[in-house]
Copies of this chain bind each other. A is one copy, B any other.
Amino acid sequence: MGSAEVLVVAGTHGNERNAPWLVKHWLGHPGALDSAGLALQLVIGNPAALAAGRRYLDRDLNRSFTSALLETPSPADREMQRARELLALHGPAGSRPCALVIDLHSTTAAMGNSLVVYGRRPPDLALAAGIQALLGLPIYLHEADASQQGFLIERWPCGLVIEVGPVPQGVVNAAICRQTQWGLEAALTVLASARRGSLALPRSLTVHRHLGSLDLPRHPDGSPAACLHPLRQHRDWFPIRPGDPLFETASGETLRYQPSDPEPLWPVFINEAAYGEKGIALSLTRRERWPCEPEWLEGLQQLALQLLPSAA
């Protein structure tokens, strides 16, 4: 029945070293990762950037999977070459086809162990709901942001990011590794249940729905005029309300959060090191509880039926 595998990607960003550390171990020690009986492909996303200890060499690989970029004629830069190679090898129509992908990331923000879902594809929501039911992980639902496009997982019919932090770039931290492994094993457990037809979703899913991002205040020359307020630092997933401290100038002046809407919002990716160049000091979300729809489960089950069992 099955014809495809589960793709697990580590090191899509070359300075996020925890997941590559795990993947290299799992490749040498089958059994160290509980695959829940599923056949996996364990892949380093950007080996050249990992070797260089940099997020990327020419462009952010995890913003390179837009149709426009993928269809641009050659010559391509190194990340575009790698994006095409990943799809040719492991894509849904690749030489070793994968039906879905789990992309393992870490962050300098205090996101804890968390999930990032891109858009509202039914199987993604079912997978996220299943993991949340097992581990209670918070979910950041990224959607409708024209400035941030081309995420790797969007090229597979199903997939999500496991995002763990805080950990500095370039550092392997044993606790971050454990959280990453727990998140991945929960995802594989959910997929195996879906494949067996025994997955039951919880009644509802709690998501933090992306509304937009805030940049630091900037001087006319473009340089930052403030940094994150110390009361905001490491407060991912905690609500911010009108009047709360948001930024602090170098002079020590507090700049407060002054939205037109008085409702609280939930910031995520606060002061992520790699987002400075993207003009993102934090992203703002709304916490929502959605009833789990039957079509989510149906979508995931259909995909899961394609999955091959692991070799005995």
Chain A contacts to B: CB under 8 angstroms: 21-22, 24-25, 29, 32, 53-54, 108, 166-175, 177, 223-224, 227-230, 233, 248, 250-251, 271, 273-274, 276-277
- B171 near A273 with CB under 8 A, answer yes
Beyond A169-B169, A170-B276, 7 extra complex contacts between A and B, CB < 8 Å: A21-B224, A32-B250, A108-B170, A173-B271, A174-B233, A175-B230, A177-B250
Nearest B residue to A230, CB-CB = B174
A-B contact pairs, 16 of them (CB 8 A): A24-B223, A24-B250, A25-B251, A29-B251, A32-B250, A53-B277, A108-B171, A167-B168, A169-B273, A170-B273, A172-B227, A172-B228, A173-B233, A174-B228, A174-B248, A177-B227
A170 and B229 contacting across the interface, CB-CB below 8 Å: no
A138 to B24 CA separation, bound complex (whole angstroms):
38
Which residues of chain B come closer than 8 Å to A276, judged between CB atoms?
Answer: 170
| Chain B CB within 10 Å, residue with most, of A170, A173, A229, A273 | A170
Whole-angstrom CA separation of A253 from B175 in the bound complex: 14
The list of the 4 closest CB pairs from A to B, nearest first, reads A25-B250, A170-B273, A168-B168, A108-B168
Please, which residues of chain B bring their CB within 8 A of the CB of A223? 24
Q: CB-CB < 8 A to A251: which residues of B?
A: 25, 29, 32
